Every structure is written in C-alpha cells, then in structure tokens.
Amino acid sequence: MARATEAVPGAGEEALGEGGSQSPLRMALRRLLKKRIALIAIVYILIFYAAGATAPLLDGSGAIPGYTEQDLEEALAGPSLSHPFGTDRLGRDQLSRVIWAAQTTVIITVVVMVSGGLVLTVSMGLLSGYVGGWVDSLIMRVGDVFISLPGLLMLILINASLGDQVESLARDIENGVAIAPLGISLFTIKIGGLVRSGAPDYFLIAAALTLFSWVGGARVIRSQILALRETEFILAARALGASTPRILFRHLLPNVSNIIIVSLSLSLAGIAGSEIVLSWFGVGVQPPHPSFGALIFDASSVRTVNEHAYLLAFPGLIVAALFFAFNLLGDALTDVFTPRAR
C-alpha cells in the first residue's frame, strides 16, 4: 500500500497533466470520507484488525483469558459478564477465541494481500502488459489454467495434501536445519515454537490463496498497461532513455494504482472467506489455534445451535459484519477511484 500511496501524486502530473494543488489520491480520499456508510465500514474493519493484531498483547495483559485456558465447571455457559460471548464445550472463553480467530483472519488477509494482491498480481500484470511477446503469452496461458480450475476444490485439495509436509518441514526448522550447500555448513536455521504458533498452516493457506488470487487483477492491469504503453508520456520517457524498471515503477505503476486499490479491496472478502471455509472443512488452521471456520464448524450442528445458539451467533455475526464492511468499502472505493461510475 505504501508504494501505491506515495506514487499516486506522480500520476496527476505525468498522466493527467493536472497542475492543481490536489493530488488524485487526496481527492479520492476526501470523496471517500464524505461517504458515511464507507466510514462506518472502515471503522468496523479497523476495530476488527486492531483486535486481531493485539490478540497476543490482550492475552499477555490478562485482559482476556488464553484461548486454550479451560474452566470445565463453566463449560457451555451462556453469555455473562465474565464471559461476554459464553464458553465452548471445553470451557474456553469464546470472546478470547473470537479475538484469536480475528488474528488468523488478519494474518491471512494481510499476507495474501501483499504477496498475492500486490507482488504477484502487479508484477504479472506489468510484465505481461509491458514486456509482451512470449512472456505475455506464457503468463496469460498460465492464467487461463488457473482461472479454469475449480478454485475451492483445488484449495481444499492443496491444503489437505500438503498440510502434513509443510508441518514436518516446520518441525525440522524447529529442531534446526543446517544450510549446507556443497557440504560446507554455513549456518543453522532454528526457530522455536513454529508449529504451536500455527505458522505452517498460515504459510500453506496464504501460499495457496496467493496462487489462486492473481489472475483477475493481472488481466485488468495488463489491459490498462497495453493502452498506456502507446501513450506519449511513455514514448517520451523511453526516448529520454529511461530504463525499463524506471518506466515500469515511476510511470506505469502510478497510473494503475487506482485499479490495484480497487481490486485489492474487492478481493478482501474472498481471501478472508477462503481461509474460513478451509478451516471449516478442517484443512485450514489446525486446532487448538482458533479460526472462524473452526468456531463455526464446532457450533453448527443443529443440536448445538438449538441449545447453544450463542456459540454460532457471535462468531457468525462478527464474520458477516466483516464481509459486509469489506463489500461496502469495495463499493465505495470503486465509486471513488473510477470517476465514470459516479
């Protein structure tokens, strides 16, 4: 995000030739802040992300019980002052589990947004649009394959198949892996607590989602780059001897940043939803680490809902509100960044 926001002011001067004092980004931001619904959505998303990101701090400070802390006498208790969201079948505080589940969502959405939404999508779009030729054909054909795959089924298969492998790799790293090319031991990687932290699950889910999230955005960026490539200011930059990276990052990237922001915001609900669905299926984040998918799955049998509806209602409501906020934000950003739609 940082690069996009810094680069956008350049777009006004270079592409649109607007010499005014207001940069397009600032104008867009002002328009966004005028939308009351979008503001409410942003506030909710911020609270959700703040809660998720500070889960370890909240836990450490003792404000909420740990997510594995059991109080078996209080199992399946309804919402009360000490347990606002009630407790689950194992007597664990549901509020704490929801906050830790939010952390899972935060990690996955942020990682996939950066790795898939920004790095992979943008580089593929720029490469195939600007370089063209066989690079373009290759990227687009690979994209054809990815777009044809039934995404949900493939995500489940990949996670189900590779989960154990990734976890054993993480266990190796916990025990120390010597990096020794040609038999000369250079250094040893040893990171403790990897498996317990859920890192292997996060890694696999994020990698799989990244792999399946770039095609649409890359195609849109590519078509925009194809059009921009022939414009005067790019020809001028090339005539002045600008290097390809400079043309790509200083001239082309700022001009597609609005597309990037819009497609990122529209993909957020899908990314968060995919992780929830994977964990619901049992191939995503593994217990005891909470995820909304697992929380929903545990609470969704008709008998449980009948007797302990709060176990499903609270996580379900929070997730639904998050998706709603993502959708509203996406709509607002589309409105703000694509002036024709206004």
Q: Which is nearer to another protein, 4 or 312 (CB)?
A: 312
The least distance separating another protein from the CB of residue 143, rounded to whole angstroms, comes to 11
Q: Tell me the closest approach of the beta carbon of residue 128 to another protein, in angstroms.
A: 14
Minimum Å gap between C-beta 319 and another protein is 6
Looking up tokens 């600007």 gives 130
Q: How far is the CB of 287 from another protein (least distance, A)?
A: 17
Smallest CA-to-CA distance from 147 within 124, 163, 130 is with: 124
Q: Which is nearer to another protein, 19 or 150 (CB)?
A: 150
Phi and psi at 58, nearest 5°, equal: -55, -45
Residues in the chain: 342
Residue 168 or 243 having the CB closest to another protein? 168
Cβ pair 337, 261 in contact under 8 A: yes
Min dist CB 300 to another protein, Å, is 4
Distance CA 262, CA 250 (A): 20
Q: Could you give the 3-state DSSP secondary structure of residue 92?
A: strand
Helix (H) / strand (E) element for 231: namely none
Instruction: Name which of 229 and 250 has its Cβ closer to another protein.
Output: 229
Contacts of residue 60, Cβ cutoff 8 Å, sequence gap at least 6: none
d(CA 222, CA 309): 48
Which pair of tokens denotes residue 123?
A: 């580089």
Site for another protein, rule CB under 8 A: 37, 141, 144-145, 147-154, 156-158, 160-164, 226, 269, 273, 276-277, 280-281, 293, 296-297, 299-302, 305-306, 309, 312, 315-316, 319-321, 323-324, 327-328, 331, 341
Q: Which is nearer to another protein, 53 or 162 (CB)?
A: 162
Give me the phi and psi of 231, to 5 degrees please: -75, 160
- Minimum distance of another protein from residue 190's CB (angstroms): 26
| Strand boundaries in the chain, DSSP class E | 177-179, 187-189
**CB-nearer residue toward another protein: 249 or 297:** 297
